[in-house]
Amino acid sequence: MNEAPRLLVAVAHPDDESFGCGSILARAAELGVESTVVCATRGEAGDCDPSTGVDPSDLAAVRERELRTAAGILGVDRVIVLDHRDSDMSGEPAPGALVAVDQDDLAAELQGIIDDVRPDVVVTLDAGDGHRDHAAIRDATLTAVRTAAHRPSRTYLSCLLRSAMDRWVDHLREVDRWGDYTALAELGTPDEEITTVIDVRHLLDVRRAAIHAHASQVSPFEALPTELADLFLTRDHLVRVEPPWTGGPVETDIVATTTRATKSAE
Protein backbone atom coordinates (compact mmCIF):
# COMPACT_ATOMS: atom_id res chain seq x y z
CA MET A 1 0.00 0.00 0.00
CA ASN A 2 1.26 3.48 -0.89
CA GLU A 3 0.27 6.99 0.11
CA ALA A 4 0.86 10.46 -1.30
CA PRO A 5 4.14 12.23 -0.56
CA ARG A 6 3.87 15.05 1.99
CA LEU A 7 5.07 18.64 1.92
CA LEU A 8 5.35 21.00 4.90
CA VAL A 9 5.75 24.74 4.28
CA ALA A 10 6.72 26.85 7.32
CA VAL A 11 6.11 30.60 7.11
CA ALA A 12 5.93 33.58 9.45
CA HIS A 13 2.81 35.49 8.38
CA PRO A 14 -0.46 35.07 6.50
CA ASP A 15 0.34 35.94 2.85
CA ASP A 16 3.84 34.39 3.00
CA GLU A 17 2.28 31.15 1.78
CA SER A 18 0.91 32.95 -1.32
CA PHE A 19 3.29 35.86 -1.95
CA GLY A 20 6.31 33.65 -1.29
CA CYS A 21 5.43 29.96 -1.66
CA GLY A 22 2.18 29.98 -3.63
CA SER A 23 3.47 28.23 -6.73
CA ILE A 24 5.25 25.58 -4.64
CA LEU A 25 1.98 24.71 -2.94
CA ALA A 26 -0.03 24.83 -6.17
CA ARG A 27 2.55 22.57 -7.83
CA ALA A 28 2.25 20.12 -4.94
CA ALA A 29 -1.52 19.98 -5.34
CA GLU A 30 -1.10 19.46 -9.09
CA LEU A 31 1.07 16.39 -8.40
CA GLY A 32 -1.21 14.94 -5.72
CA VAL A 33 1.21 15.80 -2.90
CA GLU A 34 -0.40 16.25 0.52
CA SER A 35 0.59 19.69 1.83
CA THR A 36 0.51 21.41 5.21
CA VAL A 37 1.20 25.08 5.93
CA VAL A 38 2.34 26.10 9.41
CA CYS A 39 2.13 29.86 9.97
CA ALA A 40 3.82 31.26 13.09
CA THR A 41 1.75 34.45 13.50
CA ARG A 42 -1.51 36.05 12.43
CA GLY A 43 0.22 39.06 10.90
CA GLU A 44 -1.39 41.62 13.17
CA ALA A 45 1.47 44.12 12.71
CA GLY A 46 1.11 44.20 8.93
CA ASP A 47 0.08 47.31 7.01
CA CYS A 48 -3.60 47.05 6.23
CA ASP A 49 -4.93 48.34 2.93
CA PRO A 50 -7.11 51.29 4.11
CA SER A 51 -9.59 50.73 1.29
CA THR A 52 -10.76 47.49 2.96
CA GLY A 53 -12.13 49.27 6.03
CA VAL A 54 -10.71 46.60 8.36
CA ASP A 55 -10.39 47.78 11.96
CA PRO A 56 -6.82 47.22 13.19
CA SER A 57 -8.19 45.36 16.22
CA ASP A 58 -9.76 42.81 13.85
CA LEU A 59 -6.72 42.41 11.61
CA ALA A 60 -5.41 39.18 13.15
CA ALA A 61 -8.73 37.39 12.66
CA VAL A 62 -9.16 38.80 9.16
CA ARG A 63 -5.67 37.77 8.10
CA GLU A 64 -6.12 34.24 9.44
CA ARG A 65 -9.33 33.91 7.41
CA GLU A 66 -7.51 35.17 4.33
CA LEU A 67 -4.72 32.65 4.94
CA ARG A 68 -7.17 29.77 5.08
CA THR A 69 -9.02 30.98 1.97
CA ALA A 70 -5.78 31.38 0.00
CA ALA A 71 -4.56 27.97 1.17
CA GLY A 72 -7.78 26.44 -0.14
CA ILE A 73 -7.21 28.06 -3.54
CA LEU A 74 -3.68 26.63 -3.61
CA GLY A 75 -4.92 23.14 -2.75
CA VAL A 76 -3.39 22.98 0.73
CA ASP A 77 -4.71 20.10 2.82
CA ARG A 78 -4.04 21.48 6.31
CA VAL A 79 -3.24 24.84 7.90
CA ILE A 80 -1.69 25.14 11.36
CA VAL A 81 -1.55 28.60 12.94
CA LEU A 82 0.71 29.11 15.95
CA ASP A 83 0.03 31.68 18.67
CA HIS A 84 2.99 34.02 18.29
CA ARG A 85 2.61 37.71 17.51
CA ASP A 86 3.86 39.49 14.43
CA SER A 87 7.11 41.29 15.36
CA ASP A 88 6.80 44.07 12.77
CA MET A 89 9.84 45.12 10.76
CA SER A 90 11.77 46.97 13.46
CA GLY A 91 11.62 48.41 16.95
CA GLU A 92 11.21 46.73 20.32
CA PRO A 93 9.12 43.58 19.80
CA ALA A 94 5.90 43.28 21.77
CA PRO A 95 5.53 40.54 24.40
CA GLY A 96 4.86 37.25 22.63
CA ALA A 97 6.34 38.50 19.34
CA LEU A 98 7.97 35.84 17.19
CA VAL A 99 11.48 37.30 17.44
CA ALA A 100 11.18 37.42 21.24
CA VAL A 101 10.47 33.69 21.45
CA ASP A 102 13.40 31.56 22.57
CA GLN A 103 14.76 29.95 19.40
CA ASP A 104 15.04 26.54 21.08
CA ASP A 105 11.38 26.72 22.10
CA LEU A 106 10.28 27.73 18.61
CA ALA A 107 12.36 24.94 17.06
CA ALA A 108 10.85 22.43 19.51
CA GLU A 109 7.34 23.59 18.53
CA LEU A 110 8.13 23.04 14.86
CA GLN A 111 9.84 19.75 15.64
CA GLY A 112 6.58 18.48 17.16
CA ILE A 113 4.71 19.46 13.99
CA ILE A 114 7.28 17.70 11.80
CA ASP A 115 6.95 14.53 13.86
CA ASP A 116 3.15 14.75 13.56
CA VAL A 117 2.95 15.59 9.83
CA ARG A 118 5.93 13.41 8.81
CA PRO A 119 6.70 15.38 5.64
CA ASP A 120 8.96 14.13 2.89
CA VAL A 121 9.88 17.68 1.91
CA VAL A 122 10.07 20.83 4.05
CA VAL A 123 10.20 24.37 2.66
CA THR A 124 10.72 27.58 4.58
CA LEU A 125 11.68 31.16 3.70
CA ASP A 126 15.18 32.42 2.91
CA ALA A 127 14.48 35.74 4.69
CA GLY A 128 15.99 37.46 1.66
CA ASP A 129 13.67 40.43 2.15
CA GLY A 130 15.32 41.27 5.47
CA HIS A 131 12.20 40.66 7.62
CA ARG A 132 13.26 39.50 11.08
CA ASP A 133 10.24 37.20 11.49
CA HIS A 134 11.20 35.42 8.27
CA ALA A 135 14.70 34.88 9.65
CA ALA A 136 13.27 33.54 12.91
CA ILE A 137 11.04 30.96 11.21
CA ARG A 138 13.86 29.99 8.84
CA ASP A 139 16.36 29.37 11.61
CA ALA A 140 13.91 27.48 13.82
CA THR A 141 12.72 25.31 10.92
CA LEU A 142 16.26 24.36 9.92
CA THR A 143 17.01 23.39 13.52
CA ALA A 144 13.77 21.42 13.77
CA VAL A 145 14.37 19.30 10.66
CA ARG A 146 17.78 18.31 12.00
CA THR A 147 16.52 17.33 15.45
CA ALA A 148 13.06 15.83 14.80
CA ALA A 149 12.51 12.12 15.23
CA HIS A 150 11.12 12.07 11.70
CA ARG A 151 13.77 13.17 9.21
CA PRO A 152 12.40 14.72 5.99
CA SER A 153 14.12 13.55 2.82
CA ARG A 154 14.80 17.11 1.65
CA THR A 155 14.65 20.64 3.04
CA TYR A 156 14.64 23.84 0.98
CA LEU A 157 14.70 27.59 1.34
CA SER A 158 12.25 29.40 -0.92
CA CYS A 159 14.34 32.27 -2.25
CA LEU A 160 14.04 35.79 -3.48
CA LEU A 161 16.55 35.91 -6.31
CA ARG A 162 19.26 38.55 -5.79
CA SER A 163 19.18 39.73 -9.43
CA ALA A 164 15.39 40.09 -9.28
CA MET A 165 15.60 42.04 -6.03
CA ASP A 166 18.25 44.31 -7.57
CA ARG A 167 15.90 45.05 -10.47
CA TRP A 168 13.09 45.72 -7.99
CA VAL A 169 15.26 48.26 -6.16
CA ASP A 170 16.21 49.86 -9.50
CA HIS A 171 12.49 50.17 -10.28
CA LEU A 172 11.85 51.84 -6.93
CA ARG A 173 14.59 54.36 -7.68
CA GLU A 174 13.03 55.12 -11.05
CA VAL A 175 9.53 55.76 -9.69
CA ASP A 176 10.71 57.60 -6.58
CA ARG A 177 14.03 59.22 -7.46
CA TRP A 178 14.24 60.98 -4.10
CA GLY A 179 14.02 57.77 -2.08
CA ASP A 180 17.00 56.41 -0.16
CA TYR A 181 17.20 52.69 -0.87
CA THR A 182 20.62 52.04 0.65
CA ALA A 183 19.05 49.70 3.22
CA LEU A 184 17.72 47.51 0.41
CA ALA A 185 21.16 46.73 -1.00
CA GLU A 186 22.05 43.05 -1.32
CA LEU A 187 18.61 41.70 -0.54
CA GLY A 188 17.79 38.22 -1.77
CA THR A 189 19.82 35.06 -2.26
CA PRO A 190 22.79 35.30 -4.66
CA ASP A 191 21.89 33.76 -8.02
CA GLU A 192 24.88 31.41 -7.94
CA GLU A 193 23.63 29.78 -4.72
CA ILE A 194 20.32 28.65 -6.27
CA THR A 195 20.09 24.85 -6.58
CA THR A 196 16.53 24.46 -7.81
CA VAL A 197 14.49 26.32 -10.43
CA ILE A 198 10.88 25.34 -11.10
CA ASP A 199 8.94 26.65 -14.09
CA VAL A 200 5.51 27.52 -12.67
CA ARG A 201 4.17 29.87 -15.34
CA HIS A 202 1.22 27.55 -15.98
CA LEU A 203 0.18 28.06 -12.31
CA LEU A 204 0.23 31.85 -12.50
CA ASP A 205 -3.57 32.28 -12.43
CA VAL A 206 -3.85 30.10 -9.31
CA ARG A 207 -1.01 31.99 -7.62
CA ARG A 208 -2.60 35.35 -8.42
CA ALA A 209 -5.99 34.19 -7.14
CA ALA A 210 -4.37 33.19 -3.83
CA ILE A 211 -2.56 36.53 -3.64
CA HIS A 212 -5.82 38.40 -4.23
CA ALA A 213 -7.45 36.41 -1.41
CA HIS A 214 -5.31 38.49 0.94
CA ALA A 215 -7.54 41.50 0.40
CA SER A 216 -6.38 43.29 3.56
CA GLN A 217 -2.81 43.42 2.20
CA VAL A 218 -1.23 45.27 -0.69
CA SER A 219 0.54 42.79 -2.95
CA PRO A 220 4.23 43.63 -3.45
CA PHE A 221 3.79 42.65 -7.11
CA GLU A 222 0.78 44.84 -7.81
CA ALA A 223 2.61 47.99 -8.94
CA LEU A 224 5.46 46.24 -10.73
CA PRO A 225 5.82 46.21 -14.52
CA THR A 226 4.70 42.86 -15.93
CA GLU A 227 8.19 41.79 -16.94
CA LEU A 228 9.53 42.44 -13.44
CA ALA A 229 6.59 40.76 -11.69
CA ASP A 230 7.13 37.72 -13.89
CA LEU A 231 10.66 37.36 -12.51
CA PHE A 232 9.11 36.64 -9.12
CA LEU A 233 5.96 34.78 -10.16
CA THR A 234 6.75 32.51 -13.10
CA ARG A 235 9.74 30.62 -11.70
CA ASP A 236 10.42 29.41 -8.19
CA HIS A 237 14.02 29.62 -7.00
CA LEU A 238 15.14 27.52 -4.06
CA VAL A 239 18.25 26.41 -2.23
CA ARG A 240 18.43 22.81 -1.06
CA VAL A 241 19.97 22.70 2.40
CA GLU A 242 19.22 19.08 3.39
CA PRO A 243 20.83 17.00 2.08
CA PRO A 244 23.53 19.56 1.28
CA TRP A 245 23.89 20.46 -2.38
CA THR A 246 27.02 19.00 -3.96
CA GLY A 247 26.76 20.61 -7.37
CA GLY A 248 25.61 19.49 -10.79
CA PRO A 249 22.64 20.53 -12.92
CA VAL A 250 19.96 22.48 -11.07
CA GLU A 251 16.90 20.57 -9.92
CA THR A 252 13.64 21.30 -11.70
CA ASP A 253 11.20 20.10 -9.03
CA ILE A 254 11.16 19.46 -5.29
CA VAL A 255 8.43 16.88 -4.84
CA ALA A 256 8.59 13.33 -6.11
CA THR A 257 5.91 12.29 -8.60
CA THR A 258 5.89 8.74 -7.22
CA THR A 259 4.09 7.59 -4.11
CA ARG A 260 5.91 7.04 -0.86
CA ALA A 261 6.02 4.11 1.48
CA THR A 262 3.35 3.78 4.14
CA LYS A 263 4.06 4.80 7.73
CA SER A 264 4.43 1.18 8.73
CA ALA A 265 7.17 0.72 6.17
CA GLU A 266 9.11 3.84 7.20
Please give the pLDDT value at position 172.
84
Say how far apart CA 133 and CA 90 lie, in whole Å: 10
pLDDT in tens, 36-70: 999 999 998 876 767 777 877 789 999 999 999 99
Residue 259 predicted with pLDDT over 60:
no
CA-closest candidate to residue 214, choices 11, 58, 49: 49
Mean pLDDT of 25-33: 95
In angstroms, the CA 123 to CA 138 distance is 9
For the cut 60, the answer to whether the pLDDT of residue 264 exceeds it is: no
pLDDT band at residue 185 under the 50/70/90 scheme: confident
Q: What is the mean pLDDT of residues 87-98?
A: 88
- 40, 82 Cβ separation under 8 angstroms: yes
Residue of higher predicted confidence among 174 and 110 = 110
Contact 37, 117 (CB under 8 A): no
pLDDT for residue 158:
98
Segment 215-226 mean pLDDT? 89
Average pLDDT of the residues in 172-195: 81
Measured distance CA(25)–CA(18) in Å, rounded? 8
Q: For the full predicted model, state whether its pTM sits above 0.75.
A: yes
Longest pairwise C-alpha distance within the chain: 63
Q: What is the CA radius of gyration of the chain?
A: 18
pLDDT of residue 2: 60
* Superfamily (CATH) of domain 2-161+188-222+236-249: LmbE-like (3.40.50.10320)
What spatial distance separates the first Cα and last Cα of the chain, rounded to whole Å?
12
Residue 154 has pLDDT above 50, yes or no: yes
The Cα–Cα gap between 219 and 188 comes to 18
Give the span between the Cα atoms of 39 and 63, in whole angstroms. Answer: 11
Grade residue 133 by pLDDT with cuts at 50, 70 and 90: very high
* Among 3-7, 13-17, 256-260, the range of highest mean pLDDT: 13-17
Which sequence spans correspond to the domains of the chain?
A: 2-161+188-222+236-249
Return the top range by mean pLDDT from 81-90, 181-190, 231-240.
231-240
DSSP code of residue 97:
B
pLDDT at 177 over 70: no
